[in-house]
Amino acid sequence: MNINSNDFQVRTGETVKLKKWPTQIIPIYKSKEQYQEILSEHIRKLSAQQNLLYASSHYSLLLIFQGMDAAGKDGAIKHVLTGINPQGCEVFSFKQPCADELAHDFLWRTTVRLPERGRIGIFNRSYYEEVLIVRVHPEILHNEGLPEGLIEETIWEERYRSIVDLENHLYRNGTRIIKFFLHLSKDEQRKRFLARIDEPEKNWKFGPADIEERKFWSDYQKAYEACLSATSTQEAPWYIVPADDKENARVIVSKIIFDTLNELKMSFPEVDNVRRKELQSIRKLLLNEV
């Protein structure tokens, strides 16, 4: 099955209704062995693209992963980026903000983690938490030190605008942004939660807070719909990836990343005559060493 990245992209201005987006599609692979072959080939191509990204040093790449608990964010990052040179890649997981982070605007703690040119930055959760979990639990706003006059119903639209403005600014300065929403069904989340309880090696992944948040499933779906609709742009698109099949999701994610990098038309820096002569001189010295 050929993967078309555009099939998963949210178009600019599109109103997202998650019930219309599948959480599972026909598998791209026919066996576990074929899955490994496809993913390995994608990783090989990604590794080559990363070398070009680093060598050309004109662009940076920011990958954002969002989704409900147990959607497979950690696994996607681990398996898709396993072949990437760790010296050119950094992963940041954003949990509950600390006191220092709360003393700044809501974009500050992620902005200071943005990738430099030539590198790949990965956000496991991101500034989007501020229009997702905070929207579902608006009482959190009162702990963020905002002036009372700013905590109005319009705050979400204002935050969407701030996010889009930031992403457009980053795009104009060479950062390419890919945003993945791993679209998990409620039933599949239940199965994965049960596995975390039944399999001892997964017990550490599960806690009472996970069940509490599951009670707000419908609220989260609405928050995601509003967020995806308002912040998917041509410069920083959202991709809704069916996540009930973890392996399928990883293959799709890897293909989208490769397609984005491939569109940059990068090349290794050209060597001018002065540099070429210098290299030949060094080569002669090395050949003549005793």
pLDDT 10s digits, 117-169: 999 999 999 999 999 999 999 999 988 888 877 888 899 999 999 999 999 99
Task: Give the residue from 217, 228, 211 showing the smallest Cα distance to 11.
Answer: 228
1 — pLDDT class (breaks 50, 70, 90): low
Residue range 226-253, pLDDT digits in tens: 999 999 999 999 999 999 999 999 999 9
User: Tokens 């809501």 belong to which residue?
Assistant: 106
CATH class entry, domain 5-287: alpha beta
pLDDT: which is higher, 143 or 27: 27
Res. 290: pLDDT tops 80: no
- Residue 119's pLDDT is 96
Name the residue among 177, 160, 159, 67 with its Cα closest to residue 115: 177
Give me the residue spans of the domains in the chain. 5-287
Average pLDDT of 169-176? 98
